[in-house]
Amino acid sequence: MTTLVIGAGLVGSQVARLLVEQGERPILMDHAAQPQAIGQIVELDKVTLIPGDVLRPLCIVDALRTHGITQIVHTAANPMLTLGAQKDPYAAINLNIMGTVNVLEAARVTGLKRVVVSSSSVLNHYLEGGGDGGEIGREEAFPRPTTFYSATKQAVESLGLNYAKWCGIEFAGLRYGAVFGPWNGAGGGGPSNVVREAMRRVLAGQEAQIGPGVMEWVYSKDAARGTVMALQAKDLGGGIFNLTMGALTRPGDMASAIAAVVPGAKVKF
């Protein structure tokens, strides 16, 4: 098996690490790869790092054919996720939806079967509607996304499931919670940056600031482990999976966790 990991960032690099530990040499494709940051997670001489852009379909097809790819993990995402999509809807729609369609279509035309795609737990939260008793034909029967980002992820899941139904692709959409974990490069996502900045401040004896919201979190290594499980599962069932810590974390919970590792830490909500 040879896996193409699209997006060599917070989760993609951890997926590559796990595949290397299993004896594989994965192909990492990123339009702006950060080798120094990636190299702190997975040994660079054990992976093949290539440039590529999911908005260029032939680039994906070329990677599949050149490297003999048998399965794909697609983790590329619009910067700043929900906040980024609200600020620049077109860019998020283009990258999240059309980028994923390009990956699925490349898999279809080359005969590749297994495609695992990043979705988001926002689809468990940023919804409204679902009235009218769920009766088919009623305008408010089914809930709809309330942000641009959640709308793109709903589209990604729906398109992937239709590629599975009509084109024979084995599709998995993974609803990651707010992913955090080690990443020393640029980006890394808002949740990781929140945790990193909070820890940086308390370790320096300063007051950490935590938002007031309730979150579903997932550690990047756990998100990667679930992703590899989806790659290797014999049966993907319904094709959509939640990947979170399985609990809602409140601000007080995070403050307690910080205080447990940094006694006397000051936290402001």
Report the CATH number at residue 166.
Answer: 3.40.50.720
Q: Tell me, yes or no, whether 188 lies in a domain.
A: no
For residue 143, give its domain range.
3-180+217-246
pLDDT at 262: 95
Spatial distance between the Cα atoms of 69 and 61, rounded to a whole number of angstroms: 10
Whether 7 is in a domain gets the answer yes
Number of domains, the chain: 1
For 60, 159, 202, the CA distances from 261, given in Å and listed in that order, are 44, 43, 10
Query: 19-44: per-residue pLDDT in tens?
Result: 999 999 999 999 999 999 999 999 99
What's the pLDDT at 44? 98
Q: Is residue 186 part of a domain?
A: no
Characterise 196 by phi-psi region: left (phi > 0), alpha (psi -120 to 50), beta (else): alpha
Give how far the C-alpha of residue 9 lies from the chain's centroid of Cα atoms, to the nearest Å: 10
In a domain, 235, yes or no: yes
In a domain, 193, yes or no: no
% of residues, the chain, pLDDT over 90: 84
Instruction: Report pLDDT for 239.
Output: 98
Identify the band that residue 87 occupies on the pLDDT scale cut at 50, 70 and 90. very high
Q: Is residue 67 a part of any domain in this protein?
A: yes
* Run of H or E including 221: helix 220-232
Provide mean pLDDT across the span 95-104: 98
261 domain residue, yes or no? no
Say how far apart CA 8 and CA 51 lie, in whole Å: 10
The model scores a pTM over 0.75: yes
pLDDT for residue 134 is more than 90: no
How many Cα atoms occupy the beta-carbon half-sphere of 199 within 13 Å? 14
> Is residue 200 a part of any domain in this protein?
no
